[in-house]
Structure 1
Amino acid sequence: MVTLDGQPVSTDDVLPLALTGFGHFTSLRVEADHSIRGLTLHMERLVRDSTLVWGTSVDTGRVRAYIRQSLEGRTGPCVVRVTVYDPTMDLGRPADADEPHLMVSVRAAGALPPEPLRAKSVPFERDLPEVKHCGLFGALHTRRTAQLAGFGDALLVGRDGLVSEGVTWNAGFVDQDGTLVWPQAPVLPGVTMALLQQHAAHRVAPVTLDEAKGMAAAFATNTGIGVRPLSAIDGTQFVTEHPVLRRLQETYLSIPGETL
């Protein structure tokens, strides 16, 4: 079931979002015991992004209540998406949209970690990269481009030649000295990335595509996948059983979840 402010959503409710793509969201992995890693960070994201996009905050108490409602009767791990948008949004008058509502949807979650991923580098820069927004056309086009070329997903590279992120994930690397490296670039401040940065020594530095291909290991990370090794970037192969990656996966799984 998909709900809007706790009520079953109608076609009329979601039509403005479908026609404009104007909104923002966060996706949370909920474990079988209904605990959520990084729940506080997800709430902070919704508040931050709503303030930037709509000029108003969101009631995180309501968000938690709607998530609890969506989980009633569910037993297995799942991914809950909370989307913030205005159902009265008009394409010609976006400035009039100032009453965001909360849509909650649920899907099943996959096992952690998923199989290693092959990524193709694609030139692309997301609009307003600091916001987890619903404007996904450009990013999904790069994913389609990569998949049509035989890869699993796209690794985004800016006009400055620096690696930034994946289509819906943060990118990370392990250098030849065994140090965890996060790209310094305009990227979405991912919740999973933030959790790992709190629990694992690392450095943040500009990473060119050539430097990325010279790393000892590479990985993707987001709420749905945890820490997913990259087996290749373009034609460069990576070891997927690197000890630093194993420790990072173990670290992530050991982070206690928060309760709603």
Structure 2
Amino acid sequence: MKTPAAAPFPYAEFDGHPATEDDLRTAVFFNYGHFTAMQVRAGRVRGLGLHLDRLDSANRALFELPLAGERVRELIRHALGSAGSVDASVRVHGFLPPGDSATTVMVTVRGPARMPTDPKSMMSVPYARTLPHLKRPGEFGQTYYAHLASRAGFDDAALTLPDGSVTEGSFTNIGFWDGDSVVWPQAPALRGITMALLEQEFPGAGIRSRHRPVTLDGLGSYRSAFVTNSQGIAPVRRIDEAAFTVDEELMKRLDAAYERAPWDTI
């Protein structure tokens, strides 16, 4: 008897069934919703509770409805099983199409990914996201400025407020090293899961961290910088003309702190 072939990537399920054309129309034409992105290895993910809390909190904020964590876990497990994958990039989206009274959950499965660790260059851009604490699909501004930075020869964009305050990258959090502590910008931004896990693990790794305003004209006070997202951590070599030292020892310490975070079974 032949083993069934794994579903092709990218694979998508809506509420536990393979995506139909009608389902995909929901995602394409009605993208008012929220999501979280995670890297799954051997059926496990770091910070699963943080992902589930993010989804539930965003669902309540947007739709005034809870989103049960156990239901989300079951849907992720089902999608991974259907895709025939235990190592994957997974996204969980919540939608509430017009006329519906329950949240539709879309789970997408792609191949596993990891952020390239080559030092990044970032171009500052004047952009602040609406409700930045919510992770939402279809963020035109972030995508536009990321492409604008790429066309200018940079790897990414650094989002800034009108007063020059740095908030985050186009799809990353930004951290700075002043020689003593990791400094996260004290500004409206999404609190990424990797960032949250680092903050959780820093005390045990002997790393101090704090939040304070970071401005473009004050970048010279920092020795090093780095970015984080669901795919990992990478150093930053410059923002505009402000250059940073690529501190290999610091990056090892950050990686070690992240590796301390436990894996949770989905």
Q: Same fold (TM over 0.5)?
A: yes
Deviations 1:190-232 (A, max 9, x none): 11111111111201000001223441111111111x2111122
Equivalent position SS for 1:16: helix
Equivalent position SS for 1:29: strand
- State the alpha-carbon separation in 2 of the partners of residues 78 and 5 from structure 1: 19
Partner of 2:92: 82
Partner of 1:248: 254
- Aligned partner of 2:240 among 234, 241, 245: 234
1:56 aligns with 2:65: yes
- State the alpha-carbon separation in 1 of the partners of residues 193 and 53 from structure 2: 10
1:155 aligns with 2:161: no
- State the alpha-carbon separation in 2 of the partners of residues 68 and 141 from structure 1: 34
Contact 2:164–2:217 (CA under 8 A) maintained in structure 1: no
Equivalent position SS for 2:237: strand
- State the alpha-carbon separation in 2 of the partners of residues 193 and 124 from structure 1: 21
**Cα distance, 1:163 vs structure 2:** 0.3
Q: Flag structure 1 segments of 5+ consecutive residues without an equivalent.
A: 90-95
- Aligned partner of 2:197 among 191, 195, 198: 195
Structure 1 length-normalised TM: 0.90
Equivalent position SS for 1:202: strand
- State the alpha-carbon separation in 2 of the partners of residues 239 and 139 from structure 1: 26
Partner of 1:28: 38
1:37 aligns with 2:80: no
- State the alpha-carbon separation in 2 of the partners of residues 194 and 74 from structure 1: 27
Contact 1:191–1:222 (CA under 8 A) maintained in structure 2: yes
From the superposition, tell whether residues 168 and 98 of structure 1 become closer, same or farther in structure 2 (CA, over 3 Å): farther
C-alpha RMSD of the superposition: 1.6
Partner of 1:140: 143
Deviations 1:164-206 (A, max 9, x none): 001111111001x331100000001111111111111201000
Equivalent position SS for 2:46: coil
Corresponding letter in the other structure for 2:54:
R
Greater CA deviation, 38-47 or 204-213? 204-213
Q: Flag structure 2 segments of 5+ consecutive residues without an equivalent.
A: 1-10, 203-207
**How many residues in Structure 1 have an aligned counterpart in Structure 2?**
249
Partner of 2:217: 210
**Cα distance, 1:234 vs structure 2:** 1.3
Structure 2 length-normalised TM: 0.88
- State the alpha-carbon separation in 2 of the partners of residues 212 and 69 from structure 1: 46
Contact 2:39–2:112 (CA under 8 A) maintained in structure 1: yes
Contact 1:54–1:98 (CA under 8 A) maintained in structure 2: no
Contact 2:44–2:264 (CA under 8 A) maintained in structure 1: yes
Corresponding letter in the other structure for 1:28:
M
From the superposition, tell whether residues 112 and 135 of structure 1 become closer, same or farther in structure 2 (CA, over 3 Å): closer
Greater CA deviation, 190-199 or 230-239? 230-239
- Aligned partner of 1:125 among 128, 136, 153: 128
**Cα distance, 1:256 vs structure 2:** 1.6
Contact 2:31–2:95 (CA under 8 A) maintained in structure 1: no
Corresponding letter in the other structure for 1:74:
S
From the superposition, tell whether residues 188 and 14 of structure 1 become closer, same or farther in structure 2 (CA, over 3 Å): same
Give matches, 1:96-135, under 5 Å. Answer: 98-111=101-114, 114-135=117-138
Equivalent position SS for 1:258: strand
Identity, in percent, stands at 37
